[in-house]
Amino acid sequence: MLRSHVLLDADEQLTRVLELCDQVDPKFVAKLAIYARTESYMKDMPALLCAWLSSRDARLHEAVFAKVIDNTRMLRNYVQILRSGVVGRKSLGTAPKRLVREWLQSRDEGSLFASSIGQSPSLSDIVKMVHPSRCRTNGALSTATCSAVRTRPLTCPY
C-alpha cells in the first residue's frame, strides 16, 4: 500500500535529502552523485550532492565534480545551488571557483557558445564570477579561450 504523502513539495524534498546526506558517509554521497548522473541521468540531484560535498569533503568534491558536471546546464545548476545557500555556503569559494574555471577553460569556444542558452545564472554570469584566464597574443589578451590552458594555465603556446 502506498503512503498518502508520496509526493513531496520541493522544499520538503530538499530538506529531506540534506538531512540524509548529513547522516551518511561523504564517500557514499560521492558515489550516489556519480550514479545519479551517469546511470539515472538526473540533473538537479547530482548537482545538489556535488555542491553538498563542496562544504564537507574537498577531496571528494574535486573527484566528483568532473564526473557530475558534464555540461553547461549542470554547471548552471551547480552554481545556482551553491549561491542559494542551501548547502551552507552562499559564494563559490576558492575550490569550487577553481573547478568551474578549469571546466570552462577545458571547453572549446564553439561548444560554450552553443550551450550558452539559459539563465539563472547565465553562462555569462558564471564567467564573470570565476574570471577564467585567456591567452596572451602579442602582449594583448585575445578573446579566444586557450586550448592549452588545461595543462599550463599561465602560458599560451602561441
* Residue 75 resides in a domain: yes
* Residue 128 resides in a domain: yes
Please count the other Cβ atoms lying within 10 Å of the Cβ belonging to residue 137. 13
Residue 93 has pLDDT above 90, yes or no: no
Residue 119: domain span: 10-132
Residue 136 φ then ψ, to 5°: -100, 125
Whole-number Cα distances in Å, 90 to 15, 42, 67, 147: 17, 24, 23, 31
State residue 69's pLDDT score. Answer: 94
Question: b/e string for 3-20 if b means 16 or more Cβ within 10 A?
Answer: eeeeeeeeeeebeebbee
Report the distance separating Cα 87 and Cα 14, nearest Å. 10
State residue 8's pLDDT score. Answer: 67
* Residue 78 resides in a domain: yes
Report the distance separating Cα 116 and Cα 31, nearest Å. 29
* Residue 32 resides in a domain: yes
The number of folded domains in the chain is 1
Mean per-residue pLDDT for 13-42? 94
Q: How confident is the model at residue 25 (pLDDT cuts 50, 70, 90)?
A: very high
Higher pLDDT, 125 or 45: 45
Residue 146 has pLDDT above 80, yes or no: no
* Residue 20 resides in a domain: yes
Q: How confident is the model at residue 53 (pLDDT cuts 50, 70, 90)?
A: very high
State residue 135's pLDDT score. Answer: 54
Report the distance separating Cα 35 and Cα 12, nearest Å. 23
Q: How confident is the model at residue 124 (pLDDT cuts 50, 70, 90)?
A: confident
